[in-house]
Structure 1
Amino acid sequence: MSTKQMEKFQDEIIIPEGVKLTLNKHMLSFVGPLGKTHKSFRTIPVNIEIAENKVILNAIGSRKRDYAILHTARSIIRNICEGLVNGYTIKMKIVYSHFPITVKVEGKKILIENFQGERAPRVTKSVGNTKVIPKGEDVILTGEVWTDITQTAANIELKSKVKNKDHRVFLDGIYAFEKKKGIEK
């Protein structure tokens, strides 16, 4: 394999100002202006090195699959660094036709009450440091780690899914309608 082909299986990420990274075996710890988090790369087959203000990633093998895994690791690190500097926001809309749905937050639990007239609330959990803020007909999710926020939004959407009815007619639920960078108040 030529050196040009080997360069293809190596990648560098420039760490933004204000973000500090530390590597302990397979655990990468991030500290930034909005908080701190960590990510385990134990199951992702990539060699990681930290030099000055760069993260150097090397693929384990030289196949197409290894190339894809390398770029997945790159985007995970890039998204976490960007989130610690700017943050992320997802807005969700509460949609109902007859029974008004209410969303309440108790610590890490998210309660979806009165969904289609049900007596017991549907309960789901927020992932990581995701902050859930119900505002009238909207539910706003904010945080630093993109994967945690999107997983929390997916959990809410799945918990408010209509079962045993025609989903084309019964459109009640909580749906994501806006995703953006930056934390909204």
Structure 2
Amino acid sequence: MDDKKIEKRIMVPDNLDVQIDDKRITIKGPRGQISKDFSDPRFSKRISIGRSGNEISIVADSNEKKIRSLCGTIAAHARNMIGGATSGYKYKMKVFYTHFPITISVKDKEVQIRNFVGEKGARTARIIGNAEVNVGKDELEIVGVSIEDVGQTAANIEQACKITKRDRRVFQDGVYLTGKYLETGERIKG
């Protein structure tokens, strides 16, 4: 069973420009460009990434569990890259507070959270990669081409508002993720 080859194919829309250089996939689309390197010294010789027509193919020389799972991981990343280059990703977050009004601002590549539970200093969260943060009155929108950058930026903001040494049932202040969407408005499952 280990001598069977594994192959995963991903369809590429016509409006995208895909370049594959060894283990690096670069996708250019209407929303922007995204690039990711999948080289790993443990598996580089056993997995090959190529393009045939309007498909990206990931081929492994073996049916081992680690190789199979790595093929699936690369295919999932490629699908996310295609989705980001065609329509982009948008995460929505909501600001909750009970007594002290939280003010949020964006400065350089940081989100600053002020007056959190009455604190004097500002809490900061890093904006990862090319993600953009749009601040509303009580809402935040994180927009970007890479789902990883958008998701990690949302996680950084949520973690910056973490309350310690207080009862979470009473002190529910914070900034929380309320939805994951494509920029077209379609909701992402998960």
1:142–1:183: 8 Å Cα contact kept in structure 2?
A: no
Aligned twin of 2:164: 163
Query: RMSD across aligned C-alpha pairs, in angstroms?
Result: 1.8
Aligned twin of 1:116: 117
Separation (CA, whole Å) in 1 of partners of 2:123 and 2:163? 12
Aligned twin of 2:188: none
Say whether 1:16 aligns with 2:13. yes
Detail structure 1 runs of 4+ shifted over 4 Å in the superposition: none
Given the superposition, is the C-alpha separation of residues 162 and 15 from structure 1 closer, same or farther in structure 2, using an over 3 Å criterion? Answer: same
Separation (CA, whole Å) in 2 of partners of 1:128 and 1:51? 30
Deviation of 1:60 after TM superposition, in Å, equals 4.9
Q: Determine helix, strand or coil for the equivalent of 2:62.
A: coil
Gaps of 5+ in 1: none
Deviation of 1:183 after TM superposition, in Å, equals 4.9
Gaps of 5+ in 2: 186-190
Aligned twin of 2:24: 27
2:22–2:49: 8 Å Cα contact kept in structure 1?
A: no
Q: Please tell me the residue identity of whatever aligns with 2:163.
A: V
Aligned residues: percent identity?
31
Q: Determine helix, strand or coil for the equivalent of 1:148.
A: helix
Cα deviations by residue, 1:117-176 (Å, 9 ceiling, x for unpaired): 111111111111111011111011111111111111000000010011112221111000
Paired residues in the alignment total 181
1:104–1:111: 8 Å Cα contact kept in structure 2?
A: yes
Most deviating of 41-50 and 173-182: 41-50
Q: Determine helix, strand or coil for the equivalent of 2:91.
A: strand
Q: Determine helix, strand or coil for the equivalent of 2:69.
A: helix
1:143–1:183: 8 Å Cα contact kept in structure 2?
A: no
Deviation of 1:2 after TM superposition, in Å, equals 8.9
